[in-house]
């Protein structure tokens, strides 16, 4: 499939994965941390890769995040990411740090790598210690490969309450060379990034220095992963981590490269794709909700309002109940921190206009109900006070969300 984004041609590879970019392999196995499903995964690069990451803004950053931060800070290079599910290794004190460093050591030893070239990520229950005997035995079973099955093994191993695997793959051309982006993510509940129990891993064979990669990651995260919400809760372990092998052999990318914006478009698209998959797979969700805000004073204001709307429990429950109650949308806009003129707001759900210049517009309730019965819902808001634009993604709020989270540990 070929996409065009701001005149940039981007190919989406439906059969691509985290191992499609040159130089990458992966694996996933069942080590017994979960009852039956795979629970330890690894991504490996054949060369030390330029790397960058963004992390949860929670005050309670989990031990593996601190280990990963130290690894990246050493040389700004990574060659492997070791991940476990079932246990977040968060709020586990000194022992948690010891265990996270041990995971790094065991992975490096098994793969014959420098310890500082290994990142560590964990996801699962907070406040429990890792079962290090199972972790150690499991790491020894990892045999990274470049096959579709190896990619799916990794994608499965990182899941917790997710219903489906989340992956994406895109290609662009830079300097006459094909650059590939592969991605895998997990996240279903505790999703309100800044960031949430969300992990996203992106591989690329682009040639780029770590400092420039980090700048692009931070910029793209703000308009993608940080614009999704499932339940307004932020986790302790959220991480978006990118590795660039450089094996595409393009001229080194930087803001002065003539095709820098093309690279950012590719990164933006794979981030957005994975972010939307996470929102769509919200715990108990039946619908993906997208909110587009235009006419704001600034882009930041537009993003604030979009996320406020998609994160409103009243909006989310109205969408689940197929109730076209635009008053819920106005309510969410009204208590945002953005600049709003209460006399100029337009609101539509799908193509159905419900509010024009802050005045109600007659519409057919049945038509609105039919639209809200779809599995994707679009809400458009125009503040009509500026040029700012922003988008956010989320999901409806259902009875099943309560069921899933009422028994999360059992």
Q: From 333, 319, 324, select the one nearest 361 (Cα to Cα).
A: 324
User: What's this model's pTM, rounded to 2 decimal places?
Assistant: 0.89
Specify whether the CB–CB gap between 281 and 188 falls below 8 A: yes
The position carrying tokens 């057919």 is 364
Q: What per-residue confidence (pLDDT) applies to 192?
A: 45
| Helix/strand/coil for 310 | helix
Classify 294 as helix, strand or coil: strand
**Which residues in the chain land under pLDDT 70?**
1-7, 161, 188-197, 230-234, 282-284, 401-402, 404-410
In this prediction, residue 234 carries a pLDDT of: 66
360 CB-side CA count, 13 A: 7
In this prediction, residue 409 carries a pLDDT of: 55
Contact between 189 and 57 (Cβ < 8 Å): no
CA distance 60 to 111: 30
Element counts in the chain: helices (H) and strands (E): 11, 16
Does the domain spanning 2-280 belong to CATH 3.40.640.10? no
Average pLDDT, the chain: 92
Per-residue pLDDT, 282 = 62
- The confidence score (pLDDT) of residue 327 equals 95
Task: Give one DSSP letter per residue of 158-211, joined into a string.
Answer: T-SS-SS-EEEEEEEEETTEEEEEEEEEE-SSS---SS-S-EEEEEE---B-HH
- Beta strands 24-29; 40-55: pairing state: antiparallel
Helix (H, G, I), strand (E, B) or coil at 295: strand
**Residues that are catalytic:** 197
pLDDT recorded at residue 404 = 62
CATH level 3 topology of 288-406: Ubiquitin-like (UB roll) (3.10.20)
The model's pLDDT over 306-360, given as tens digits with 9 standing for 90+, comes to 999 998 989 999 999 999 999 999 999 998 899 999 999 999 999 999 999 999 9
pLDDT of amino acid 195: 39
Instruction: List the beta bridge partners of residue 393.
Output: 228, 290
Please name every residue paired with 182 in a beta bridge, in sequence order, or none if there are none.
Answer: 169, 203
Nearest to 276 by CA among 377, 405, 154: 377
User: What pLDDT is attached to residue 280?
Assistant: 79
Domain borders along the chain are: 2-280, 288-406
């Amino acid at each position: 499939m070929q996409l065009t984004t701001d005149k940039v041609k981007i190919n989406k590879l439906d059969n691509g994965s985290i191992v499609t970019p040159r130089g990458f392999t992966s694996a996933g196995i069942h080590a017994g941390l979960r009852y039956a499903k795979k629970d330890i995964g690894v991504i490996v690069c054949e060369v030390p890769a330029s790397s960058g990451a963004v992390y949860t803004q929670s005050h309670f950053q989990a031990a593996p995040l601190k280990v990963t931060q130290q690894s990246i800070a050493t040389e700004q290079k990574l060659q492997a990411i070791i991940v476990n599910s079932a246990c977040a290794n968060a709020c586990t004190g000194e022992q948690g740090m010891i265990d996270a460093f041990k995971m790094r050591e065991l992975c490096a030893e098994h793969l014959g790598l420098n310890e500082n070239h290994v990142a560590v990520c964990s996801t699962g229950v907070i406040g429990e210690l890792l079962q290090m005997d199972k972790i150690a035995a499991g790491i020894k079973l990892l045999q990274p490969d470049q096959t579709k099955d190896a990619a799916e093994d990794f994608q499965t191993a990182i899941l917790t309450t997710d219903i489906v695997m989340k992956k994406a793959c895109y290609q662009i051309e830079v300097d006459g060379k094909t650059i590939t982006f592969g991605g895998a993510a997990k996240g279903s509940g505790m999703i309100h990034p800044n960031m949430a129990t969300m992990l996203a891993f992106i591989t690329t064979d682009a040639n780029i220095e770590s400092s420039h990669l980090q700048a692009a990651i931070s910029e793209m995260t703000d308009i993608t992963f940080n614009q999704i919400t499932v339940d307004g809760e932020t986790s302790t372990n959220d991480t978006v981590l990118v590795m660039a092998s450089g094996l595409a052999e393009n001229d080194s990318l930087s803001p002065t490269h003539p095709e820098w914006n093309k690279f950012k478009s590719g990164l933006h698209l794979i981030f957005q794709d994975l972010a939307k998959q996470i929102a769509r797979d919200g715990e108990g969700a039946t619908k993906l909700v997208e909110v587009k805000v235009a006419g704001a004073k600034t882009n930041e204001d537009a993003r604030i309002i979009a996320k406020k709307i998609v994160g409103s429990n009243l909006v989310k429950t109205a969408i689940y109940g197929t109730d076209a109650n635009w008053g819920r949308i106005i309510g969410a806009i009204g208590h945002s921190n953005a600049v709003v003129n209460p006399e100029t707001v337009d609101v539509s759900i799908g193509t159905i206009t419900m509010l024009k210049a802050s005045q109600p517009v007659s519409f057919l309730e049945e038509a609105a109900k039919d639209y809200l019965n779809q599995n994707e819902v679009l809400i458009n808001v125009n503040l009509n006070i500026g040029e700012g634009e922003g988008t956010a993604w989320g999901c409806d709020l259902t009875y099943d969300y309560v069921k899933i989270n009422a028994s999360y540990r059992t």
